[in-house]
Amino acid sequence: MRIAIFGSMDVPPQEGLEVLHYDIHNYTLDGQYDQIIVANALPELHRNQVIPFLENAYNALVNRGELILYVPSAEWAAKQIFTNTADNITYYMLYGEEAKPFRACYTMLALRTLVERVPFVVRSASENILKISTPEGETVKMPVHAITAVRND
Amino acid sequence: MTSTSSKPIVDIGIACNINQSYLWWKDVMTMLLQEVRYGDAEIGMLRTVGSALPDHNKNNIVGNSVKRLSLTDYNRTEITKGFLDGKADYIFWMDDDTAPPNNVISRLLKSGRDFIGGVYFLPSPPHHPIAYRRDPETGLYAPVFGYSDAALIQIDSIGFGCTLVHRSVYEKIRDNHTVFVRTNGSLAAIHNSRIQKPIVTRHAKKEKPYIRAGIYHEQYTQQEAGDTRQFPYYQLEYGRTEDHYFCELAESVGIKPWLDTSIVCTHYKMKGAGHDDYKQEEMKAEGLI
């Protein structure tokens, strides 16, 4: 099984599992993958780069291969702002960090619409918690949208 | 038997009614016409309770129609029998007061899920979706609340006002359960893995159910061949609606329902209730208004 990962996520090693890490701003997907995981990296792309990226992912997957997306929840962040309870994680979800600024924020509806346009078949679209490490080494929990979609020729 | 058509065949099942608004007709007919003309499914039989079609149309009902005064669980079971005896691949359940959006069947089919529904809401406050998660401690169901629009999530139970079910779900339930008659004469489907032999068809001495050491005991006899009642896929009991019973049967064979919250129906009662009403309640609960 061959997995491509964009963003800072890892998969425990297993026999027969090949895991390849890529930078979402500078990548070449070679060959076919069974799974592509994009963890908290899609917001780094400008809006006009998102569909081309998803199309590249689609073309690089085997038939029935999976795209797994984790993206900060715009709805959750917006509620924090609206209720004056925003904290560091809220601002990170909206704007990213200095080294990796976010160019867009996604509601589930916006994200799912983009994915289905490519045209992936969405198999699940749920809320999840992603544990991320801050530059200070602290682990924080971030509400994310988690979408699993498949290439289905 | 399944279809040989390139598009999957989907029967429409309408099993329950209380109030039917004339507004329902426009939405549902538009949805069905859209599906026939542009959809990815072939519409098979329309299987309804009599009240879902006006009297002068009853002669035109295709499929099996059942009496309107019967309870919803009986209606659903009878409609299911007609569906399973037919050639459709799926049955799309709706109620005669739920109006699903256009292309609903194609969209549900596209998910590739065998048991999946859209959202419709309680017509009165708090307008929660008729879709539930079960508390593993108490076994009680609570409505799904505070979800994202456009989520596609696995849940524990779903209403049958906008739900697509593949025939394999029914077949798997039937093949993995045995039907027994309880002491009150009603039927119960028990998973084969939970049956200890011997199975009996008659008890020498009839005893009333009792509880010993916290365990409920009741005499069950296997349903006899001459008993023409259908497999009990749906049961209104324990103060619960019949959809919970079906969802628990499906879960016992490894299938849980999915909910696509991008598919939103109107639930007609005296007035339409829908997504906007639900959002109002959700925002109130979160202190946003």
DSSP string for residues in B176-218:
TEEEEE-TTS-EEEEEGGG-PSPP-S--SS----EEETTEEE-
- In chain B, residues with a C-beta closer than 8 Å to the C-beta of A109 are 148-150, 262
- What size, in residues, is chain B? 289
Write down the pLDDT at residue B18.
54
Write down the pLDDT at residue A153.
82
- In chain A, residues with a C-beta closer than 8 Å to the C-beta of B150 are 107-109, 111-113, 125
Q: Closest by alpha carbon to A22, among A1, A42, A44, A7? A: A7
Whether the CB-CB separation of A105 and A72 falls below 8 Å is answered with yes
The answer to whether residue B59 scores a pLDDT higher than 50 is no
Q: Find the helix packing angle between B72-85 and B167-175, rounded to 10°.
A: 100
Write down the pLDDT at residue B62.
44
Write down the pLDDT at residue B3.
54
Q: B153 has which bridge partners?
A: B259
Structure tokens at B108: 């549900």
CA nearest to B109 within chain A = A121
User: In angstroms, what separates the C-alpha of B288 from chain A's closest C-alpha?
Assistant: 7
Give the sheet arrangement for strand B131-134, strand by strand. B141-143, B131-134, B157-158
* Sign of the Cα pseudo-torsion (B16, B22, B24, B30, in order): positive
Alpha-carbon gap, residue B232 to B81, rounded angstroms: 10
The kind and range of the H/E element at B258 are strand B258-264
- In chain B, residues with a C-beta closer than 8 Å to the C-beta of A150 are 112
The answer to whether residue B61 scores a pLDDT higher than 50 is no
What is the average pLDDT across A95-114?
Answer: 94
B289 inside 8 A of chain A by CB = no
The answer to whether residue A145 scores a pLDDT higher than 80 is yes
Nearest by CB to residue B112, choosing from A108, A111, A123, is A123
Q: Is B23 exposed, middle or buried (0-12, 13-18, 19+ CB in 10 A)?
A: middle
Write down the pLDDT at residue B5.
65
Q: What is the pLDDT confidence band of residue A142, given thresholds at 50, 70 and 90?
A: very high
CB contact under 8 A, B150 and A121: no
Interface probe with B: pick from A109, A115, A120, A144, most Cβ of B within 10 Å: A109
- In chain B, residues with a C-beta closer than 8 Å to the C-beta of A151 are none
Share of chain A above pLDDT 90, in %: 82
Q: Which residues are CB-neighbours of A4 under 8 A, at least 6 positions away?
A: A20, A21, A22, A29, A33, A35, A36, A37, A60
Write down the pLDDT at residue B55.
43
Phi, psi of B213 (to 5 degrees): 50, 40
The answer to whether residue B259 scores a pLDDT higher than 60 is yes
Q: A71 has which bridge partners?
A: A145
Q: What is the pLDDT confidence band of residue A76, given thresholds at 50, 70 and 90?
A: very high
Nearest by CB to residue A121, choosing from B110, B147, B286, is B110
The amino acid at B69: L
Alpha-carbon gap, residue B65 to B78, rounded angstroms: 9
B149 inside 8 A of chain A by CB = yes
A75 inside 8 A of chain B by CB = yes
Write down the pLDDT at residue B16.
62
Q: B264 has which bridge partners?
A: B119
Q: What is the pLDDT confidence band of residue B83, given thresholds at 50, 70 and 90?
A: very high
Give tens-digit pLDDT for A37-72: 999 999 999 999 999 999 999 999 999 999 999 999
Give tens-digit pLDDT for B166-193: 999 999 999 999 999 999 999 999 999 9
A152 inside 8 A of chain B by CB = yes
A113 inside 8 A of chain B by CB = yes
Of the two residues B70 and A108, the one the predictor is more confident about is A108
The answer to whether residue B19 scores a pLDDT higher than 60 is no
B147 inside 8 A of chain A by CB = yes
The answer to whether residue B41 scores a pLDDT higher than 70 is yes
| β-bridge pairing B42-48 and B9-14 | parallel
| β-bridge pairing B115-119 and B258-264 | parallel
Q: What is the pLDDT confidence band of residue B4, given thresholds at 50, 70 and 90?
A: low
Separation of CA B169 from chain center: 12
Alpha-carbon gap, residue B81 to B74, rounded angstroms: 11
Structure tokens at B79: 């409609």
Mark B220-248 as b/e (b = at least 16 C-beta within 10 Å). Answer: bebbeeeeeebbbbbbbeeeebbbbbbbb
Complex ipTM > 0.90: no
Nearest by CB to residue A79, choosing from B149, B152, B286, is B286
CB contact under 8 A, A127 and B151: yes
Q: Closest by alpha carbon to B141, among B239, B282, B27? A: B239
A73 inside 8 A of chain B by CB = yes
What is the average pLDDT across B23-31?
Answer: 84
Q: What is the pLDDT confidence band of residue B37, given thresholds at 50, 70 and 90?
A: very high
Q: What is the pLDDT confidence band of residue B57, given thresholds at 50, 70 and 90?
A: very low
- In chain A, residues with a C-beta closer than 8 Å to the C-beta of B113 are 123
In the numeric block, the tokens 């080494």 are attached to A137
CB contact under 8 A, B154 and A124: yes
Q: What is the pLDDT confidence band of residue B78, given thresholds at 50, 70 and 90?
A: confident
CB contacts under 8 A, B 247-266 vs A, are 258, 262
Count helices and strands (H / E) in chain B. Answer: 6, 18
User: In angstroms, what separates the C-alpha of A1 from chain B's closest C-alpha?
Assistant: 23
CB contact under 8 A, B287 and A83: yes
Give tens-digit pLDDT for B191-218: 999 999 888 888 989 899 999 999 999 9
Of the two residues A138 and A151, the one the predictor is more confident about is A151
- In chain A, residues with a C-beta closer than 8 Å to the C-beta of B287 are 83
Q: Closest by alpha carbon to A105, among A38, A149, A42, A49? A: A42
User: In angstroms, what separates the C-alpha of B262 from chain A's closest C-alpha?
Assistant: 8
Alpha-carbon gap, residue B16 to B96, rounded angstroms: 7
Q: What is the pLDDT confidence band of residue B64, given thresholds at 50, 70 and 90?
A: low
The answer to whether residue B17 scores a pLDDT higher than 80 is no
- DSSP 3-state assignment of A63? strand
Other CB atoms within a 10 A radius of the CB of residue A85 amount to 9
The answer to whether residue A124 scores a pLDDT higher than 90 is yes
Q: A69 has which bridge partners?
A: A38, A147
